[in-house]
Amino acid sequence: MTELVVIIPVYNESEIIKEVLEDWVQTLNTLQIKYKIKLYNDGSIDSTQFILNNLQLEYQDTVDVIHKENSGHGPTILLGYISNIETQWIFQVDADNEISAKYFPNFWNIKNEYDIVIANRGKRGNGFIRRLMSFMSYLIVRIIYGKGIKDVNAPYRLIRTHPFKKIIKDIPENTFAPNIIISGMANKKKLRIKIFDLASAERKTGSPSLGNKLFKLLRISFRSFKEIIIYGLSK
C-alpha cells in the first residue's frame, strides 16, 4: 500500500524536471518508503510533456504522469490533493527546484508527531510586488485564521491527510492558492505544526507562471485575498 504521494505541479520545466525527479527518486529510495511521485503537467507548451512521458517509462513503478489542460498552479495542486486524499501522507513540492529534495528526510523522520510539516523560506529575492503579496497573505491569514505558519504559501509541505480531508474537499476547485487556505486552517484548528527554516534557491530555469506583469500580479493578488477571506469566515 502506498504510504506517501509526492505531488509536483509542472508547467514548462523541460530544462530541469528530469534532474528534479531523479533527486526525489533517489532521496525517497534511500528512506525505503512505499511511495508514488505524481507529476501534474498543467498544459505545458514546451517539451515538458515529451520528457515526462519518457520519465514515466523509466520509473514506471514509482512515477505517474497526469497531463491536463492548463488551469493554473493552485487548481493543479488542489487536483493532486483531492485525487490522493485517501493516502496517509501527501507531500507537495514545486518543479523548479527552489528547495532541494535533500531536506525531505528531516520532514519524514518526525512526521508522526505532527499533522503538517512545512518549510519557512525566509527572505526571498522575488521582487517587491511578490514580497508584498507574500506579506499580505501572511497578514490576512493571521487576522482571519490565527497565527502559526509563517510562510503560508510554501510549496514544500508534508500533510497528514486525515485532519485535512474536509478542509481540502471544501476548497473550490478553481481556488488560486489552496495552500494558503490549508495553512490558515491548520492555524485555526490548532493542528500540530512543525516549521523548518530552509534555504531556498532562486529559479534558474523556466519562468514563474504569473510572469512579472504588475497589473496581472495585483489582479491575481486581490482575487486570492478575497478567496482566503471568504473561506476563513465561512468556517
25 and 63 Cβ atoms separated by less than 8 Å: yes
What percentage of residues in the chain have a pLDDT greater than 70? Answer: 92
Q: Which pLDDT score is estimated for 117? A: 98
* Beta pairing partners, 41: 10, 67
C-alpha cell at 93: 513540492
**What residue segments make up the domains of the chain, in order of their start?**
4-234
Global pTM value: 0.93
Q: pLDDT, tens digit, for every residue of 188-211?
A: 999 999 999 998 776 666 555 555
Q: pLDDT, tens digit, for every residue of 116-173?
A: 999 999 765 566 777 788 889 999 999 999 999 999 999 999 999 999 999 999 999 9
C-alpha cell at 187: 492555524
CATH number listed for the domain at residues 4-234: 3.90.550.10
User: Helix or strand or coil: residue 161?
Assistant: coil
The identity of residue 191, as a single letter, is: L
Q: Which pLDDT score is estimated for 217? A: 75
Lowest mean pLDDT among 69-83, 105-119, 203-217: 203-217
Q: Which pLDDT score is estimated for 194? A: 98
Q: Which pLDDT score is estimated for 216? A: 75
- What span, in angstroms and rounded, lies between the C-alpha atoms of 24 and 134? 27
- What span, in angstroms and rounded, lies between the C-alpha atoms of 136 and 170? 23
